[in-house]
Structure formats: C-alpha cells, structure tokens
Chain A
Amino acid sequence: MITFDRVSKRYAEGHDALREISVHINRDELVFLTGHSGAGKSTLLRLIMLMDRPSRGQVTIDGQNLAAVRSRGIPQHRRNIGVVFQNHQLLFDRSVFDNVALPLVIAGYDHREVGRRVRAALDKVGLLNRERAMPITLSGGEQQRVGIARAVVGKPKILLADEPTGNLDPALSAEIMDLFEEFNQVGVTVLIASHDLVLISRLHHRIITLRQGSMVSGSAS
C-alpha cells in the first residue's frame, strides 16, 4: 500500500531529513513510526501527503508512483488519505459537524450523503451528541476525536497520524489508539508517528524506528 524505495530527503540548507529509506507497508497493516524529534518521522509523512517531494528515490502509494502526480493532482491524492495532527488543525469558527464535513464538501458529496457520513463518523468516535458544538468548547481528547472523525469521514484507504496522542494523558491516549485499531480492522492502512514508546510497544504492531533520517529497525513486517 505504501512503498518507499531508497528515499532520501535533503533540505535546501543541507540537512538530511531522510537517508535511503526503503520500507513497504501492506494493506490492513497498522504500523508505528518512532524516533526522537528530528529523526524524520514528520518528513516521511509529508512525503506521503505530497507536502514535500523526495530528493532521491520513489514513493508509491496504492500502486501510484507519486513522482507522476503533478501539482494539479495533489488535491485528489490527498482526498484518498486521512490525516490526524497533533494540534488537531480544526476550524474554530465552525461547528464540529462542519469540521468533519469539510473533506466531503471538498470532494463534492451530496449534502444528504454528507449528513449521513458525518454522523456515522461522529458516532464512531463517540461524539454524535456534540455535532452542533464549537470545537473550542471541547476537551483536548474530544478535539482529537473530531480530528479523527474528519480524517476517516471520506473513508480513505490510508490513515496517517502525526503524534496523535502528544498532548493527551495515558488513558485518553489508549482510547485514541483503540480507535485507530478499529479502523485498521475494517481494512484501513494506518501509519502512526509517535514517540510514546511505552504505549505503542504494548500494542503489538510493527514499529519502524528512525534515527537521524535512517531506518534502524522495522523494515520488514
């Protein structure tokens, strides 16, 4: 589903964010990506999202070589990937419902279909009763669930998460991870960047470890 073939990323200032990364993530897999900050976790996710292009090597997503995706094709590419951010990236002037509906409105769904899917997604993360609330009135954990609902509402094949439990206490973090496992069980490929080793080592999934841009473990499942 996700294949990195000898991918390197060097930024303009000469800093090597990724060095010769080769890794394959299968459909149905849930994989953790770990390492210290600056190890290249975010860069790897950014390459998948086409927020950056690799300096060398190839990234292939669902059979599509990303080098062939031109800038006009980036929006379409991103619609097939759900993303959860550490800082949630919610629109604070819109209701929970409107936040979750955003990817569907962008993709051009009929409004009845939007309503149906948004409620299904909110139900999944346990926030169905808060659809009219404004994000600012929600707790950190609830805001993160809204972010997750928004990431999965378009039923993407791939779900990425960048430090999704960064600001949450252990109990809430475990709940969030349970959610990701549930999505994984219905066939979504999930890749989670996290440095919470205690939490992720309990969950018995493949762990890819990066150190200074190089992969030190987890290349094979």
Chain B
Amino acid sequence: MGRREAVRRKEGASVSRTGLRDQYNAWVQHHRLSAADSLLRVLDHPGSSLLTWLVIGIALALPVGLNVALDNVNQVTAAWDSPAQISLFLQDEVSVDRAKQLEVELGARKDVSETRFISREQALDEFRTLSGFADVLASLDENPLPDLILVTPAATLDGPAVSALRVELQGNSDVAEAVLDMEWLQRLNSLMELSRRLVWAVGAMLVIGVLLILGNTIRLAIESRRDEIVIVKLVGGSNSFVRRPFLYTGLWYGVGGGVLAALVVSAALWFLEEPIGELALLYESAFHLSGLGVMGALNLVILGGLLGLAGAWLAVSRHLVHIEPR
C-alpha cells in the first residue's frame, strides 16, 4: 500500500479548496469573461442585435422625448406666470371724463405698464361686429355693457403681486369689478399636468414593453444554449455561474438601447431647433430649445442598462431553473 498511499496523499493535497483570495479573483475574472463573451455574442449578430437595440431605443425615446418637449413648454409658460391683463369694469354712474381721468391716473403708477380705456359704446360696437347678434342688440333699450379699463401690470410683477394689485384696484370706489385674466393660464397648467401624467403612463407601459421584449430575447438566447447550460450544470456550475452571461447579455442590450434612445432624442431636437428658433424670433422671444444634456443622456443609458438587467433577470429566473441535466 505504501507507494499508492503516498501518491494519494499528494493528490489529496492538491484537491484542497482554493483560497478565498483566489476565489475572489476568479469571480472577478468570470465576470469579466462573461461580460466580454456576452458582448461578443451580441456583436456577432449585428442585424438582430441592432433590431433589439432599436426597439428598446425607440420605446425609451418616446416618453423621454415627450418629457423634454413638456419641459420646454414649461419653460415658455413660466415666463407667462404674471398674467397679461386686469379688466376693470366701472360703476354705471361713473362719467366718461372721470373714467378717462382714472385711466391716466392708473397709467402713471409704477406697477402698471399700460392702460386702455374702452367706453361702453365702443364695447357695444365691437360686440356687435364680432358676435353677429346685431339684431338682438338693436332691440335692447339701453346698452347693457359697462365702461372698461384694461390694465397691463408692469412686467416686473410676479403672480402674487398682480393678484394684490387686482385686490387694490377692486377697492377703488369707481370700480364695480376687477377681473384677472388667469383662467386660461390655469387651464393651460392643468392641461400640462394632464400631459405629464399621460407621458408617465405611456412611459410606464413602454418600460413594461421593453422588459418583455428583453425577457423574450434572453429567453431565446437561453434556449439556443440549452445544451451548454446542461453541461455546465453537470460539471458543477452553480445557478449564479450559469445566470451571469445572460445577465450581461441583457445589460448590453439595455445599454445599447439607452444609447440609441439618447441619439434619437438628440436627433429629433436638432431637427426641431431651427424652425423653433425662427418661431421664437418672430415672437421676439429669447426662447431656446433645451435638450437632454450630458447627465440626461447618461441617465438614459443607465436606465437602459437597468432595464436590460431586469428583463434578463426576469427571463433567467423563469427559464433557467427548468434546464436541468436529464
């Protein structure tokens, strides 16, 4: 037995487990290998990979692009937060002279940039020509419309200051009612809020779509490597070892999709920049289209990567456990 026993001892010693440090290094190395191998496999089929990237890219670009557009609209409406006009409806007994005097008085105020007096006769004429109720109006015994002064607040005033101005003008004894034309702005704001929510809803659905597409792509990748998975499990590969390359595949698809989404959004903005610049010029506005920015693009790529990982995880946890050596 002597010689054989000695030989076995020697063999037994080399069977002993590798050290923790070696294990860690090997783990890092397998991550590196899986990442590189998965990337090569993705690049090995440029046609189908590009298709997957495009699907993910467009699905991500849609909500992100809409969001950028909404941000830009927000930027425009922020400039309109101080509403344009306060309408002062005067008391019936106020004379035209007194009204014109009031117009000049108000016009002299620092917090008012412009005033315009519209007499009840003018208003009636205007109404007659615009409304098409000329016959009805002619049958009235007296003019039902009040005199009106339109007050444009100074551009330096913010929303609350304009409201305060309205309250102050309301207090004037010649004024029957002071109305701030804010309603359309509130409508616009609620419309914007609605759009934003719609964008979120669409975004959420598209994200789910991306997850399913990725899950399916990874499922196909798993199916095509079924034999390999069986062999790896037979020689002692753990589930995480088998899972790793597929997670990386998902990551690469997601990252590629994110990059494409950033490109699509940037291209769309570039395409719109010139006409919007011209439009802004016509409105004498300094409005400038703001894009994704470097951070936005980076976030998009990271989001894509995370979605890729999540989709791959979905597929792997559903399908990999069913592949066992038979």
Contacts and interface: CB of A to CB of B under 8 A. Distances in A.
Tell me whether A and B are bound partners: yes
Interface of A: 28, 49, 51, 75-79, 83, 89-91, 102-103, 105-111, 113, 150, 154-157, 185-188
Contacts, number: 81
A110 B237 CA distance: 16
Interface string B303-326: 000000000000000000000111
Nearest to B324: A51
Interface in B1-54: 4, 7-8, 11-12, 14-15, 18, 22-23, 25-27, 29-30, 33
Contacts of A186: 4, 7-8, 11
B235 interface: yes
A75 B233 contact: yes
B11 A106 contact: no
A108 B15 contact: no
Nearest to A114: B26
A102 B30 contact: no
B287 interface: no
B298 interface: no
B144 interface: no
Interface of B: 4, 7-8, 11-12, 14-15, 18, 22-23, 25-27, 29-30, 33, 227-228, 230-239, 241, 324-326
A110 B18 contact: yes
A187 B7 contact: yes
A106 B18 CA distance: 12
B226 to A, nearest CB: 12
A78 B8 contact: no
Nearest to A79: B236
A92 B25 CA distance: 27
A41 B13 CA distance: 32
B231 A89 contact: yes
A75 B15 contact: no
Contacts of A111: 29
A78 B237 CA distance: 8
19 contacts: A28-B4, A76-B236, A78-B234, A79-B235, A83-B234, A89-B234, A103-B236, A106-B235, A106-B236, A106-B238, A108-B18, A108-B22, A108-B30, A109-B18, A109-B26, A110-B25, A113-B18, A155-B14, A187-B7
A74 to B, nearest CB: 8
